[in-house]
Each structure stands twice: as C-alpha cells, then as structure tokens.
Structure 1
Amino acid sequence: MLDRMIDQRCDDLYRAAEAQDAPGFLATLQDLWERTEDSDPATADAVLVRLCGLFDRLTPGLGARLAVMGGAMVENGADPTPLIDPVVAGLCDALERSAEFARAWRAVTDRRLPEPGLENRAVLGAARVLSGPLGLPRRLGLGRRLPFARALDLAVGWSIAEDWSLAATTVLQQSAAIRADLSRRPRLAATVAAVEDDRPDLWCLPRLLAVLDDEPLIVLHRPTGRAHAITIRGIGDNFQLCTLLAHILRDHVPVTIPHPSWVAAAVDGPPQSQAGRIVARFDLLDGAGERIPDSGRPADIPLLDGHRVVVLDSPSFRRTWNLGRTYPMMRPSISLDRVLSEEEARMWSSRVAPAP
C-alpha cells in the first residue's frame, strides 16, 4: 500500500503523460524521486510497478528520463523485473536510431559525430545537418538529405541512448539470470554491436553482456604444477580475477595472501580503503602462452580443448592497480570446485605452452 502523497504523485504522472505535458511530467517525476529516494523496499517495488505502466504512453525522450529514475530505484533496492522489458525495448529503439543517425551523418558531412547527450538546441542543429541545405553532400549520389521529421527522430535517438543505457547497465548488474536472459536477446546484441565503434560512452553495455556466469576455468599454477577446477560468476575484468584467484588459492599454492580489503573491494565491500593499491600476486597467461591483459575480461580468455585455461606464473614485475570494481552493483563470486589429481594436472601442464 503506497503512501497517499506518493500515490497521488503517481496519478499526477499519468495525467501529465495523457496531457503530453512534458514540463509537468518532469517536475512531478523529480518530486516523486525526492519522496521515494529513501523508501523501504516494499514501497520502492510498488512505485516501480506503477512507473513501468507509463512507458507506452511517453515519447522516447520522456521514457528515457523515466528509465533513469527506474534504474535509480533498482539501485536503492527495488526489484528490477518490471523494468527489464521496457528498458530493453527503449534502449534497442534508441540504439537503432543511433546507428542510422551515424550512417546518415557520414553521408552528408565530414564533421565529427556530435557528442552524446545533446541538449534540445543541439538536437535540432544535428537534425538540420541531416535535412537542411548545409553545404554539399560529401559523396554525390550518397548524400541524400532526410526529411526533417525523420532527421529529428534520429537525432533524438542519438541524444537519449545514454539515458537508456544507464538504466540497462543497472539492470544487467543485478543478477546472473538477468544477464543470461539479456545476452540471449538477438535484437539487443545486434543493436549494441551496431553502435559499439561510434558510441564509446556506452562501453559498459557490450562488456556487461559478455560477463561470464557459472563459467568453469582450469587454473594451473606452473611453479608447483598444481591444477584446480574453478567456477566464476559476475567478474567484470581480469584485475578482479587476479585478486580473487590469489584469494581462493591462498591455502593451495604459495602466494602472499591478498589484503582482506582488496578482496572485499573486488566483491561486495567498500570500493575504497586505506590499504593502498592492489599488488599483483601472479602473472596470468592463457593456454597458448600469451599474457592475459589485466584490463581485459574473462570472456576474452581463449579456449583450450573446450576449456578456458589460466596459467599462473610468479610475477615477472611489480604490477599494481586501484581498489574497486568496474561494476559496483555487480556481486562477483569465485569458487574452488576441486583440486585436480596429479595425473590431471600433468595432462594440463603438457597441453599448455611452456613458460616464456
């Protein structure tokens, strides 16, 4: 049961949407956020359900603003389930328009693509570039100008993609089940891939869609010849992976145990502490003997005989990095499933490339 004033504000949003009163809608949305920012989970859930009924009644721009608030409520503990489908639909629409905007822009001008998140005047200016008589087309025959209404539609899509992305990245960080669902949606994967080169500001999307969950690794510790079967979930980059491998194997291989605050910052604790920078405990190599970049992601580790194999060597030089997580809301985990037998360890040692 919602508080009477909160319920009234939700009703006001519906009325503003029906009246196409954009300023009134945004003012009411801000007021509602201020009233619910510190609400209990039950209230946050109820408000988010009501808000999600608005998406079909709004313009894409207002829908993007509503999605940002929905994502903020999820960050504060609301169940993300009602938000998933409308956010994916709005994001895909914005990304498809963004991809078409970039193609049309290059067809008519040599200027750099506009920065994301355009203000209203800049959106109109970008639309006029696609539709108006601003110089000659770059390639005669390919530089046909668009009708202004279509040009404006594409420019709006380009400008609001970042807002939809903020909500989507919040949802993607919530659980492995959500990530698995969204990574299997072909329209989302295709639209994200279509803009990846032109929209570096949306870098989180492809990386989150590629996060590995319930992924088995074979981890071979070269100095001792020991091998381990490990499962990882929700690890955003190889900085985290390196820290968590040292933590999970601390009782099985010789290693200087990572400071507890390093591990906490890599999993679910405060991202900052007084413990300084993390110091690498291993060099990470793949089965072919290539160094696994710390800034890369586990999904990039190549397969060897159908398995992702990580070879741990003693550090060849001192490497450090900042504490924290690439995705603060995503809770990674790592588990040691079993220590492989000596025979299995020798078999894997024979398959990987020799030490460099």
Structure 2
Amino acid sequence: MVSDDRSAQDGRPAGPSVRQQSALAGAVGALEDAVAALADGGPDDGERFDAALRRLGGLLGPAGEAESAAVGPRLSALLTDTPPFPRAHLAMMVGACVERGADPVACADPVLAGLREALTGALLLLDRWAESDEDALPDPDRDDPGRAHARIAGDGRADARHAHRAVAGWWTLDLWRRAAFALCTHAAVRRTARADGVTDVLTELIDRYRERSEQHDLKGLRHLAAALDDEPLLVLHRPSGTGYLLRMDGLTDNFQLHTLLAEALIGGGHLPGVRPDPEVVALSRTEWLDGRRFIATGAFNLVAPDGGWIWNEGMPQDIPVVDGVRTLVLDPQPYERSWAAGRFVEQVPGDLRLERVLAPEEAVARLAAAAPALPFEQAVR
C-alpha cells in the first residue's frame, strides 16, 4: 500500500492517512462519550465536551469523502443532546460532511429541527427586544450574548429558559442557515422535507422572520426551501390558444423558469420568438457563472389563471395550483425585459422538460377559464 502521508504516484493529492482516519474515528467516539456524559451533569463534563469538539474540528478539515460519509450521520445523531451554542457549530460540521459525500437524508432531520428551533428562538428575541428599552438589535458578531440575556430575561426559572432559547437562536441562526443550506441543495432532502410538512413550517418561520428583521440573510435559504422538484407545470399560451404540460426540477427562481420556458417552447419550435442564447440556457440549468456575465431577455408575460402577474423576481412556488397542477398563462410582454442570466441558487441544477402538447380542445377549454391579465397598475398594487 502506498503511504497516504505522501502524494499518490499519479500526482493527485492522497487521501487521509490510516493514522488520520483512526484519529478521526477516535475523535467522533470521544465526542459521543462526552455528549452521553453531559446527561450526568458532572463538574468537568462541559470541559470534556468542549475539548472533544475542538479536537474533532481540527481533524475533520483534511477528511476525505469516505471518512465524511462515515462520520456525518454519527455527528448528526448527536445534535439533539448537544448544548445549544456548540450544537450549531456541530451542525456546521455535519453540513461539511454532507458536502463531501455523507448521506444528506440520513443527516437532515436533526439539522432541520435545529434550524426550526433557532428560527423560533430568533423570533422570540425579536418579541422580547421590542418590549425592552433597547433600539438596535444585538449584533451576533460583536455583542455579548450574556448582556442580551440579561436584557430580556424576567423573573423566574421558566422566563430565564425562554430568554436563553431566544439568545441561542439569535446568535446561532446564521450557522444553522449555512448547515441547512448544505443539506437542502440535495433534492432528496427537499422532497422528504416537503412530504413530511417540514418545508411548510420552515418557510412560514422564515417569512415571519424576514418581515421583521434583515439581521440574518435568509433569502437564499427561502428560495432553496421552495425549490420544486419533479413538479408538473401546465402552461397556456394565450395568443396561439395552445397548451403544454412540462415538468420542473430544481427551479428556484422565476428568471430561471422564464429562460427555460422560452428554450422549451420557442427553442422547441412550438411558439414563435427568439430562442435564448445557449449560454444563457446553460447557466439556467447547470453551468456556474465563474465571473462571466450574460444577459437574458424576456419572451412572455407570466400570468396566473386569475389574471395576477407572476413576477420574474418571485419563485415557481408562486404559481397557483388549479385542478391539482400549477398553471401558468403566457401573454405577450407589455414591455421589454432583460436580466443577468444564471440561477439564484447556483448549487442546485435546474431543468424544465416538455412532456406533452395539450390537445387543442383541452387547451381552448382551459384558456376559456383563465381571466385576462390585470393591467400593470393593478398588478403592482
């Protein structure tokens, strides 16, 4: 066996050495023991846990795919019993393991549960802070969480617990956001979370938070959580009276959807118009920008069956469901549109596939039930 402490003979960097792998496994085992000991509440158990977590963090950096795949689910299983502040750092380690090959579904539930708890705590802090005499919200990067706790904690043990929950959520939310983002880039995690109702809960919490604060940037996670996978889309083209059934995968924004609609229907020869630039299409599917800049141009006005506009700045999730399928009407553009090509969440590849052209009588019947597009002045209200 070639020593893993040196580069492989083919010139590629070698993986972790046997000694490193053994050390990593030992560090995970030590952390598991430390978490179990926390339940006993010994005077030194907190220090033991902190030391085990630091050691694991130092060893996880050079870990390869196989090692990350082995330890990721083990670390995720420890999240529930880990104290609130270090729990978020451990979640980041789980996210790093997933990025290197750990099973995202096996790791997902405790991470998404931790995100839910952090969001709930952050909302609680916003409530408590509004009741205090402080104007500026605390800055997790600069301010002391102990001072914030003292500011919002009232009398009684229960109230102190609520204050701790609020401060922990506020100070760790960005770590949970990053860990959850790493997992939710995987379609299997998004599908499971949506089927279990987790997505609805998280998006409701994210929306409530974003209405009240911009302290943490949750827009990317919100788009990612709303991504539609293996989702049918019924498209009706009003000028031609035709209809199309397509299927969306991994679409996170309507700019991306608009480009791929033009490629499928204009590029596919079904509708008149100018086919999108191949580079623009590639950037809407799988390619990364890498410093490049391409301009996409609009081909349609996207309209809901009730006449409301579906804005490019929104998400495919905004398209209403009619008779069990998301339904979109395409009208001529009322004005020219252009935007920087790409995907809002570049880590997620997207696709839109044409499955069938509707029979003329079906398309006509569905279009007859669709309302005319609202005038621009009403649409923007």
Calculate the TM-score normalised by the size of structure 2.
0.78
CA deviation profile, 1:261-306 (whole Å, cap 9, x unmatched): 2122112112346462211222212223332100111111224455
Question: How many Å separate the matches in 1 of 2:198 and 2:316?
Answer: 24
Equivalent pair of 1:98/1:155 in contact (CA under 8 Å) = yes
- 1:150 positional shift: 4.7
Question: How many Å separate the matches in 1 of 2:157 and 2:369?
Answer: 58
Report whether the alignment pairs 1:260 with 2:278. yes
Equivalent residue number for residue 46 of structure 2? 20
Equivalent residue number for residue 366 of structure 2? 348
Give aligned-pair identity as a percent: 32
Q: Which has the higher mean CA deviation after the structures are superposed, 17-26 or 330-339?
A: 17-26
SS of structure 2 residue aligned to 1:289: coil
Equivalent residue number for residue 33 of structure 1? 60
SS of structure 2 residue aligned to 1:244: helix
Number of equivalenced pairs: 340
Q: Which has the higher mean CA deviation after the structures are superposed, 246-255 or 299-308?
A: 299-308
SS of structure 2 residue aligned to 1:54: helix
Equivalent residue number for residue 104 of structure 1? 128
SS of structure 1 residue aligned to 2:328: strand
Equivalent residue number for residue 9 of structure 2? none
What's the Cα RMSD here? Answer: 3.0
Question: How many Å separate the matches in 1 of 2:330 and 2:202?
Answer: 37
Change over 3 Å in CA distance of 1:146–1:53 after alignment to 2? closer
Report whether the alignment pairs 1:6 with 2:31. no
Question: How many Å separate the matches in 1 of 2:325 and 2:82?
Answer: 47
Equivalent residue number for residue 238 of structure 1? 254
Change over 3 Å in CA distance of 1:192–1:273 after alignment to 2? closer
Which of 103, 114, 117 is 1:93 aligned to?
A: 117
Which of 122, 128, 138 is 2:150 aligned to?
A: 128
Equivalent residue number for residue 292 of structure 1? 310
Please tell me the residue identity of whatever aligns with 1:164. W
Report whether the alignment pairs 1:278 with 2:296. yes
Which of 85, 91, 109 is 1:61 aligned to?
A: 85
Change over 3 Å in CA distance of 1:27–1:186 after alignment to 2? same
SS of structure 2 residue aligned to 1:90: helix
Q: How does 1:155-304 map to 2 (within 5 A)?
A: 155-175=167-187, 177-186=188-197, 189-190=200-201, 192-194=203-205, 195-196=208-209, 197-200=211-214, 201-249=217-265, 250-251=267-268, 252-272=270-290, 274=292, 276-304=294-322
Equivalent pair of 2:149/2:167 in contact (CA under 8 Å) = yes
Equivalent pair of 1:70/1:83 in contact (CA under 8 Å) = yes
Change over 3 Å in CA distance of 1:218–1:149 after alignment to 2? closer
Equivalent residue number for residue 316 of structure 1? 334
Gaps of 5+ in 2: 1-15, 35-44, 376-381
Question: How many Å separate the matches in 1 of 2:134 and 2:157?
Answer: 14
Which of 330, 343, 354 is 1:336 aligned to?
A: 354
Question: How many Å separate the matches in 2 of 1:305 and 1:50?
Answer: 43
Question: How many Å separate the matches in 1 of 2:46 and 2:134?
Answer: 37
SS of structure 2 residue aligned to 1:234: strand
Please tell me the residue identity of whatever aligns with 1:183. R
CA deviation profile, 1:172-216 (whole Å, cap 9, x unmatched): 2201x4213213445664465244333542234444333333322
Q: Which has the higher mean CA deviation after the structures are superposed, 153-162 or 70-79?
A: 70-79
SS of structure 1 residue aligned to 2:289: coil
Calculate the TM-score normalised by the size of structure 1.
0.83
Equivalent pair of 1:283/1:314 in contact (CA under 8 Å) = yes
CA deviation profile, 1:285-344 (whole Å, cap 9, x unmatched): 222333210011111122445543222233332212222222222222211110112222
Question: How many Å separate the matches in 2 of 1:305 and 1:184?
Answer: 19
Gaps of 5+ in 1: 133-142
Question: How many Å separate the matches in 1 of 2:349 and 2:229?
Answer: 11
Change over 3 Å in CA distance of 1:28–1:318 after alignment to 2? farther
Question: How many Å separate the matches in 2 of 1:149 and 1:301?
Answer: 41
Which of 61, 65, 70 is 1:46 aligned to?
A: 70
